Chain A
Amino acid sequence: GEDVEQSLFLSVREGDSSVINCTYTDSSSTYLYWYKQEPGAGLQLLTYIFSNMDMKQDQRLTVLLNKKDKHLSLRIADTQTGDSAIYFCAETSGYSTLTFGKGTMLLVSP
């Protein structure tokens, strides 16, 4: 089946930029998402990008998509301690359910 891979852990200092990476295998992926899960909570949709886009910026968040390499990244500028959470990458072709990665735990230290 289709697969989404993410690194498991990222540690940064407050004020630095964080970059969380994701690779996927489905060449027909049309919709790609980033979700955030804080401790004890459900997943919250952070942002999304369509496959016909290369980049999307939303305040401190920048999503980059390299469709040729099937690589998606989420950059968080000026990372804050409140950004500490698990970040999930997800994709779908639009004809099936979302395929989620296993999540990247982001730890932001003061």
Chain B
Amino acid sequence: DAGVIQSPRHEVTEMGQEVTLRCKPISGHDYLFWYRQTMMRGLELLIYFNNNVPIDDSGMPEDRFSAKMPNASFSTLKIQPSEPRDSAVYFCASSLKGHWGYTFGSGTRLTVV
């Protein structure tokens, strides 16, 4: 398996633009997680899905953030409109059964200028 695949690896966008981050989890994993990593706050769980259904989105910072999982092999995290404070590395992770070791993607480094 190629692991968790995220795209793009880097994204630079202007404030106010829409940003879409993509994730392909490991085949057969039934949980998918979106994390944000910054120096100040460390790793923050934004939202997670079980069997494509959002379970907990309490970590999503604002209504500007939304996430979808239309099928078992694809998820998106959208920020609209983006702001400079959204600049961070966004990770997607997947796991089997939710508590077993998560497998992380390589992340998307987002810079909003």
Contacts and interface: CB of A to CB of B under 8 A. Distances in A.
Nearest to A99: B45
Interface of A: 30-31, 33, 35, 40-45, 48, 88, 92-98, 100-103
Contacts of A42: 4, 91, 93, 104-107
B58 to A, nearest CB: 11
Given A42-B91, A97-B45, A100-B42, A92 B103 contact: no
Contacts of B102: 43, 45, 98
Nearest to A103: B42
Range of interface residues on chain B?
A: 10 to 19
A44 B43 contact: no
Interface of B: 4, 33, 42-43, 45, 48, 56, 91, 93, 98-107
User: Is chain A's binding surface mostly helix, strand, loop or mixed?
Assistant: loop
Given A88-B43, A100-B43, A102-B42, A45 B101 contact: yes
Contact of B106 (A41, A92, A95): A41
A96 B56 CA distance: 10
B30 to A, nearest CB: 14
A101 B104 CA distance: 16
Contacts of A94: 99
A48 B48 CA distance: 22
A98 B104 contact: no
B105 to A, nearest CB: 5
Contacts of A31: 99-100
Contacts of B42: 100-103
A43 B93 CA distance: 9
A44 B33 contact: no
B99 A98 contact: yes
Given A43-B91, A97-B33, A97-B45, A33 B101 contact: yes
